[in-house]
Amino acid sequence: MSDCLFCRIVSGAIPAKLVHDDALCVGFLDINPQAPHHALFIPRRHLASMNEATPEDRELLGHLMVAAAKYARDQGFSEPGYRLVMNTNRDAGQTVFHVHLHMLAGRQLAWPPG
Ligand code: AMP
Ligand code: ZN
């Protein structure tokens, strides 16, 4: 079994509150939300970080963005707005090394982020 936390969520070995599920990616609620609404969208296939992304991952990464944006729209966040963000490596605070796109919404989000 994979020792990657998010691969284990994809396989169902670790439970998560799924909000999206398709052939390429899954979305689930963040366990430690940083906004009233905080979901993560991850590829089913393991990709440690954006440092490992290649041109072959274009479709997959575009798919993640569109799935997260559709979810935000469906949740009613189009008009007030929301943030899609990915952290890469130490300086950005990446803690789980399986690519994940954060969808944060439901409050005024500061810019620039800390
Ligand atoms: P990052 O700092 O960008 O690597 O974000 C990792 C995110 O994964 C954090 O927001 C965590 O709260 C979240 N997280 C860690 N473990 C779980 C889990 N078991 N289920 C849902 N979210 C998780
Ligand atoms: Zn993984």
Q: What is the pTM of this model?
A: 0.98
Q: How confident is the model at residue 2 (pLDDT cuts 50, 70, 90)?
A: confident
Q: Is residue 81 part of a domain?
A: yes
109 occurs within a structural domain = no
- State which residues form the domain around 90: 5-100
Confidence at residue 114, expressed as pLDDT on a 0 to 100 scale: 82
CATH code for position 93: 3.30.428.10
Indicate whether residue 98 lines ligand 1 (CB < 6 A): no
Q: How many CB atoms lie within 10 A of CB 54?
A: 7
Question: For the segment 8-30, what is each residue's pLDDT rounded down to a tens digit?
Answer: 999 999 999 999 999 999 999 99
Q: What percent of the chain has pLDDT over 90?
A: 97
d(CA 103, CA 84): 5
Q: Is 97 in the pocket of ligand 1 (CB under 6 A)?
A: no
The residue among 81 and 114 whose pLDDT is bigger is 81
In a domain, 111, yes or no: no
Confirm whether 63 is a catalytic residue. Answer: no
pLDDT band at 69 (very low <50, low <70, confident <90, very high): very high
The DSSP call for residue 57 is G
